[in-house]
Amino acid sequence: AAIPEAIEPKDDHAAAEARARTQGQQPERTATSPRPVRPPEPSPLPRPPAAQRAAPTNAAPTAPPVPSAPLRVLLAEDGVDNQRLILYHLKRCNCDAMLVENGRDAVAAVEERRARGERFDVIILDMQMPHMDGYEAARRLRTGGCDSLIVALTADAMQGDRERCLAAGCDRYLPKPVDARELAVLLAEAAAKRAIR
C-alpha cells in the first residue's frame, strides 16, 4: 500500500518561513507574519540662535537714532497736556528741554542764553499762545539773528497754515497731536546740523 505523504500543518508558519530561507526564497507575508521594523527617521537639524536668524522682511522700520549728546531744546507751549506729552518725548530722545508758556518768554530765554554764549539747538513754538503768539516770536527770533531749528507747533489744519508758519521764520511744521516719530526725525535733523557746525 502506498504511504501517504506527510501533510504540513497550515498553521505552522515558522516552519514554512525557515524552509523558504533555506531555498533562497522570500517568505510569504501572512496575516500573522511579523511586520518589518522601519528605521528611525533622522532628527531635525537644530535651529540657529536667535541672533543668527534672518530678520523678517516685513519688520517695522527702526526709529531714528537718538543723539549721543543731549540736544538743547526750548519748548514754548501753554497747554498743560501738550507740555507733558512733548516733554516726555523729548526726554526719551535724550534732550535737555526748557519749558516756557508763551512767545514773549521764549524770545527772552533765547536772548538770555545768547548773552552767556550759549544757544538752543531746537526751538518748538506753539503758534497760538497768550501775550505773544508763535508767529510773532519766530519773526523776532529771526530778526535777532537766531539760527536754531524752529519748529511750528499748531493744531490748525487749514490750507495755507503751513506756508504761513514757514513765512514767519519756522523751518519745520509739526501738527498736533504730536507724533513721536515725526518729532524724533526733526531732532535727528537738528543733531546732524549741530554736528557740522
**pLDDT per residue as tens digits for the range 11-22:** 555 555 656 565
Q: What angle do CA 83, 155, 192 make, to 5 degrees?
A: 65
Closest CA to 98 of 77, 73, 119, 81: 73
100/110 Cα distance (integer angstroms): 11
pLDDT for the residue 12: 57
Is pTM, for the whole model, over 0.75? Answer: no
- What is the residue-averaged pLDDT of the chain? 79
pLDDT above 90 covers a percentage of the chain that reads 55
pLDDT for the residue 145: 94
